Structure 1
Amino acid sequence: MEWVRLKARLLEAGSVRVSGEPIDRYVSRSAAGPSAGTTGSLFFSVGDRRVRVGIDEASLIEFVHRGEGAADLSIDGDTIRGRFEPVALHCPRQAYITVSGTCVFHCRYCPVPGLPGRRKEVDEIARMVEDVVDRVDAISITSGVAASIEEEEAYVCKVVAALLPFGLPIGVSIYPGPETPARLHALGVAEVKFNLEAATEALFADMCPGLSWEAVREALSSSVALFGRGRVYSNILVGLGETDEDLERVMEELAGAGVIPVLRPLTPAGSLAGRSRPSADRLLSLCGTHARVLRRAGLDPRRALTMCAACTGCDLAPGRDL
């Protein structure tokens, strides 16, 4: 099976069951986003391409772990040989850390506000990075909003300052205030990701009450002037009720401004737990559109140093998968 089609099929399914040898060292668990609080996930790679899938013993798709990471994937009558990748922190080759695993906002697709999350101490985060620094290429920081947008930004800036001595590129993805891009840039952050989440402002208002779509857009725009074209990213969820035309429009607007959009298939969670994941056919079609939009804008996500665009496990990534 062609890789891009295989990955689209796995993203559509969302989860797999696993048999064979123990997989503990390959399991990743999330403290933020729609996968928070789940049983964990695995990163499966074939060559230099990877996909992240959840673990669910009821899945019709099976991995057989043959030991030492070697794994056989059985899907739709095909068997594909590949490997489980060891996870550093949250994903392979990155120390990807959630600072505050709690949030005062209640985005409809996110389970975090209902989970007993906590904020990590600055020294604790530095120790986490120190423990994996010999097997990572980057540090990525994300966070909920524990008290307020302004207070979270100030705390994350303290975290970044403590991590600078490691000498690795640092990416940051938080909900931005007006001065967030300038403050992160002044600290020496390499890349930022401020998530529009929804393809339209109306959808954002429905999904993320109390937050501002326009504020995120303004932060993205000001970030390009500071960090450069192709060093600013924004997740757009696929499956909130938008049309493909909505997605193409927002991708063109972002890419035209120098922002790399990351199309993230919806993981049904929170109050959207009953929704379906986007189909493989839709993801494949959108990936083609995504690739054309980026090419016209002269943006290459393969240059990403940090965060989701460097990992590519959760999304179809132009340049890597297609």
Structure 2
Amino acid sequence: MEWIRLKARVLETGSVRLSGEPSDEYVSRSAAGPSAGTPGSLFFSPGGSRPSGGGRRLRAGIDDDSPIEIVHRGGGAADLLVDGEVVAGRLEPAALHCPRQAYITVSGTCIFRCRYCPVPDLPGRRKGVDEIVRMVESVADRVDGISITSGVASSIKEEEAYVLEVVSALRSFGLPIGVSIYPGPETPARLHALGVAEVKFNIEAATPELFRKMCPGLSWEGIRESLSASVALFGRGRVYSNVIVGLGETDDDLERVMEDLAAIGVIPVLRPLTPAAALADRPRPAAERLLALFEIQGRILHRAGLDPCRALTMCAACTGCDLTPGRDG
């Protein structure tokens, strides 16, 4: 089975059964997003390739009932078993949240209640600035970048101010910094002034109407304006936006929003729905749908001259959770 189809199958399932030698050092746990509060996840690279050097990787949750299995042979060597196929590779240790990055959630709590996100119902907390600096210090010798994300602990304005403090404290590491938070009107300019390399502001849903249903109290149009403003500051291909696949949109909706984002220089990141919170009973998107959208996404990015392989930070640099044109096929 070719890699792209194998990865789509894993993304459709969303999990793997882990067996073999002890693997605790390879298990990562999330403090934000739809995977928050789960038993954890792991990263697998076929053939032992290192994705930061142009290779491939996938991320999957751990579930003892999954039909897909990863057998850890010891020392990180592992086999991925999918539908009768066996793929040799390696488990990748996560530095912080993902391989080769210090990817840190500042506030693991949120006042908003997006229907797909469990964070508001979890006992999250805000990390202190000194704590975050120590976290990066602990992995600085094995990361290529720093990525910062956050919920909204008390208000959008207050969260932005706190994240700016965090970014200021992290500049001394001399690593590219990417930031993904809910933006206010001045957020792009303020992050750019601090030397942030890349930003990711997530419009989440393919249409503003669907966004209003999924994220009451937030503005799709406001995020879209922040993305446009960011391209002028950070440059084409240094601005990203997650678009969730599986919220009830059509493939035409997704094609239109990808065209719209790419036209202004933003790289759309298609993120398969992880059923959680109010959408816990929704199905994950099928592998064949993900593959079809991958082909559309690849054509759109190529025409716009946008290359996710140039990403320095965040999801487009990791690629574990998504099919990424140029990296996966």
Normalised by the length of structure 2, the TM-score is 0.98
TM-fit CA distance, 1:60: 1.2
Runs of 4 or more above 3 Å deviation: none
Alignment of 1:277-288 (within 5 A): 277-288=284-295
Q: Distance in 1 between matches of 2:69 and 2:229?
A: 45
- Per the alignment, residue 31 of structure 2 pairs with 31
Partner of 2:5: 5
Q: Is the counterpart of residue 173 in structure 1 residue 180 in structure 2?
A: yes
The aligned counterpart of 1:293 is 300
Secondary structure class of the residue paired with 2:36: coil
CA distance in 1, matches of 2:121, 2:85: 39
Cα RMSD for the two superposed structures:
0.4
SS at the partner of 2:57? strand
- Which one of 142, 145, 148 corresponds to residue 149 of structure 2? 142
Long gaps (5+) in structure 1: none
Which residue of structure 1 aligns with residue 283 of structure 2? Answer: 276
Residue 197 of structure 2: which of 187, 190, 199 is its match?
Answer: 190
1:134-283 aligned within 5 A: 134-283=141-290
CA distance in 2, matches of 1:94, 1:63: 23
Distance (whole Å) between structure 1 residues aligned to residue 265 and residue 70 of structure 2: 39
Distance in 2, matches of 1:309 and 1:72, equals 25
Measure, in 2, the Cα distance between the counterparts of 1:246 and 1:217: 16
Secondary structure of 1:320's counterpart equals coil
Equivalent position amino acid for 1:8 in 2: A
Separation of aligned partners in 1, 2:219 and 2:266: 18
Measured in 2, the distance between the counterparts of 1:72 and 1:168 equals 33
The number of residues matched between the two structures is: 322
TM-score normalised by length of structure 1: 1.00
Say if 2:98 is the partner of 1:87.
Answer: no
C-alpha distance in structure 2 between counterparts of 1:175 and 1:270, whole Å: 20
Does 1:45 find its partner at 2:45? Answer: yes
Q: 1:68 aligned to 2:102? A: no
CA offsets 1:213-265 (integer angstroms, 9 cap, x no match): 00000000000000000000000000000000000000000000000000000
Q: Deviations over 1:46-81 (max 9, x none)?
A: 132000000000111111100011111111011111
Shift, 1:27, TM fit: 0.3
Structure 1 CA distance for aligned equivalents of residues 64 and 109 of structure 2: 28
Q: What is the match of residue 52 of structure 2?
A: none
Could you tell me how far apart the structure 1 residues matched to 2:167 and 2:275 are? Answer: 31
Partners of 2:190 and 2:70 in 1: how far apart? 44
